[in-house]
Structure 1
Amino acid sequence: MLKVKRILILLLVITGLYIVFNQAQRFDVFGAGSEGNKDGQAAISNDIQTIKVDVSSVSTTIIPEDRTNLKAVYNGKQLLKVAENGDTVEVSVRSKGFHFFDWTPFTEKSTLEIYIPQDFDRNMTIDLGSGNVNFSGQSKEKPMRLNEVTIDIGSGNMDFKNLIAKRWSQDIGSGNVKIDSLKTETGTFDLSSGNMDIKHYIGAVEADVSSGRLNIQMDKLADSIKMDVSSGNVGLDLPDHADFTLSSDVSSGTISCDFPLTTKEVNKHSIQGKHGSGKYKIDLDVSSGNIKIH
């Protein structure tokens, strides 16, 4: 009983210290304001090859506009950092103070707006622990053009629109991702869990789905598609006049194809066939789960 009382007293002391420190930050007792840095800027010279965004528990919007530098405007109680590191400009938001007791990101919403040059055509890396990221070009007719885009999402939500990239690579732990109007030479999608919806897509596809749901609607079939599905559901929406040769293997689960196929071979574990000229290869491997081509 005495031991329990000591533990309770210790917890009360720790809680009291946290409250005192937290209130001290709010009322600037220690000379530090309660808010994080409000904004930051960095020059985007020709030497800068990559813009890196590393955020968690923040609602982030990336806004291309007519400008020559990067500007970040933050509203919240964490710390905003905008720094140049070699050929990279990094924008990050981090907790401050006693990290062990810093529960602010989970209790109060913070926002971050990142303004970038609309003619920045190099590389972008986005790491999202949680929260939201929105990134959009001006329109489908005037998209944002980039070289290589690398995205890593632990959880949260991402929304992308009107983008062109030479290479697109996306690793999704969980959460929800929406992409509307993306053109790329090569798109790589690794989905561990969660949901991913892609509309108006043009480019090659390499997808690995271990769980979750992936839907891809393609405006034009212009390259090969390769998918490995160990669990989950995949929908592949192709143009009516797509030219492809389908090769699939199924150990468990199902693959269905609504397209009429010539030289069609169907058995319990595979579907083979050709639609149109058969120009582009579609290779599907399902160990568990479902794929529907329509």
Structure 2
Amino acid sequence: MVKNSLAILLIAGALIFLYVNFNEFWPWSASGAAKQEAKVDEGTESVKLNVSSVNTKIVPVDSDSIRVEGTKKHDIKVKEGRKSIEITIKQKGFRFFQFNSDQTTATVYLPQKYAKELQLDIGSGEIDTTAYTSSNPLILSSVSVKMGSGDVMIGALDAKEFSYNGSSGEAVIEKLSTENGNFNLSSGDLTVSHYEGPFKADVSSGELNAGFTELSGEIDVSVSSGDVNLDLPDNADFTLKGKVSSGDLFNEFPLDNAKMTDRVSEGTHGKGTHLIKVKVSSGDFTLY
């Protein structure tokens, strides 16, 4: 009797496990996409998107509501606060039974009129905002990106405040204009193209590559390990003040009033308008 009961429990547990992880293959499983939405009005000050083990696209929409659409493989939650909207998108089932090739895409339709704070938290999976282009950029007051792992691809973005905190994964930003850019990289890879604005970075590991459309603000970079490569316009006006305790600092610009030693790299290029401060305690920094 005990053995029979145990066998029944094991079979029931196995059936539940299979249904949770592979319910799309069952003939009686529910079909149709998951869908939720929330009203966006003048009081909405923040939108936060948490993604785990899901590929997610953010696209513009002419609407008064933020809408999230996925499939039955997605667990979608939209939580409305007094001044905020928090969206969580996860893959249903146990992660070790899911494969990247089987991942489906969820879509977040963000109202074009929304222009305040956007927070992106990627535990794993992918966030893609490349639907925003130079002719139709994403314009916001503040954007923060937190990378646990996975990938993020950002199209054209104009944000007064931008912050990036990456502990792993890979991020690509096609175009970024900001009044205050902060980058913290403890691991992983980050590539920024067509950058405009002040630039502050702290790299303890990983690789950071940034290309500037124009130099329009101060650059402050600290490298304790890893690699940082900054590509400036040939006509950039800057004053370089670099200190090295270990590692290497490479500069391909001709400098006036140059002071170059193993520990110090200083001088001006052009009018010397913008200050570039570099501190390398280990790793490599290249200015070209």
Q: TM-score, normalised by structure 1?
A: 0.87
Task: Give the root-mean-square deviation of aligned CA atoms.
Answer: 2.5
Tell me the distance in 2 between the aligned counterparts of 1:46 and 1:129: 30
* Aligned residue in 1 for 2:17: 22
Shift of the 278–91 alpha-carbon distance from structure 1 to 2, 3 Å rule, reads: same
Tell me, yes or no, if structure 1 residue 288 matches structure 2 residue 282: yes
- 1:107-122 aligned at under 5 Å gives the runs 108-122=102-116
Tell me the distance in 2 between the aligned counterparts of 1:244 and 1:269: 20
Paired amino acid for 2:230 = L
Paired amino acid for 2:117 = N
* Aligned residue in 1 for 2:58: 62
Tell me, yes or no, if structure 1 residue 239 matches structure 2 residue 233: yes
Residue from 87, 91, 103 that aligns with 1:91: 87
Moved more, 69-78 or 117-126: 69-78
Q: Secondary structure at the match of 1:112?
A: strand
* Aligned residue in 1 for 2:221: 227
Shift of the 73–240 alpha-carbon distance from structure 1 to 2, 3 Å rule, reads: same
Residue from 168, 177, 196 that aligns with 2:162: 168
Tell me the distance in 1 between the aligned counterparts of 2:156 and 2:184: 21
Among the aligned pairs, what percent are the same residue? 34
Tell me the distance in 1 between the aligned counterparts of 2:116 and 2:45: 6
Paired amino acid for 2:84 = T
Shift of the 157–18 alpha-carbon distance from structure 1 to 2, 3 Å rule, reads: farther
Shift of the 46–81 alpha-carbon distance from structure 1 to 2, 3 Å rule, reads: same
Tell me the distance in 2 between the aligned counterparts of 1:27 and 1:237: 50
Tell me, yes or no, if structure 1 residue 197 matches structure 2 residue 199: no
Q: Secondary structure at the match of 1:170?
A: strand
- 1:1-294 aligned at under 5 Å gives the runs 18-25=13-20, 38-94=34-90, 103-105=96-98, 108-136=102-130, 138-294=132-288
Shift of the 156–94 alpha-carbon distance from structure 1 to 2, 3 Å rule, reads: closer
Shift of the 256–102 alpha-carbon distance from structure 1 to 2, 3 Å rule, reads: closer
- Native 8 Å contact 1:57 1:106 kept in 2: no
Tell me the distance in 1 between the aligned counterparts of 2:263 and 2:54: 45
Tell me the distance in 2 between the aligned counterparts of 1:196 and 1:73: 28
Paired amino acid for 2:285 = I
Q: What is the aligned length?
A: 278
Tell me the distance in 1 between the aligned counterparts of 2:96 and 2:72: 13
Shift of the 158–240 alpha-carbon distance from structure 1 to 2, 3 Å rule, reads: same
Shift of the 129–105 alpha-carbon distance from structure 1 to 2, 3 Å rule, reads: farther
Tell me the distance in 2 between the aligned counterparts of 1:155 and 1:232: 18
Tell me the distance in 2 between the aligned counterparts of 1:195 and 1:78: 28
Gaps of 5+ in 2: 1-5
- Native 8 Å contact 2:54 2:90 kept in 1: no
How many angstroms does 1:289 deviate by?
0.5
Shift of the 35–110 alpha-carbon distance from structure 1 to 2, 3 Å rule, reads: farther
Paired amino acid for 2:186 = S
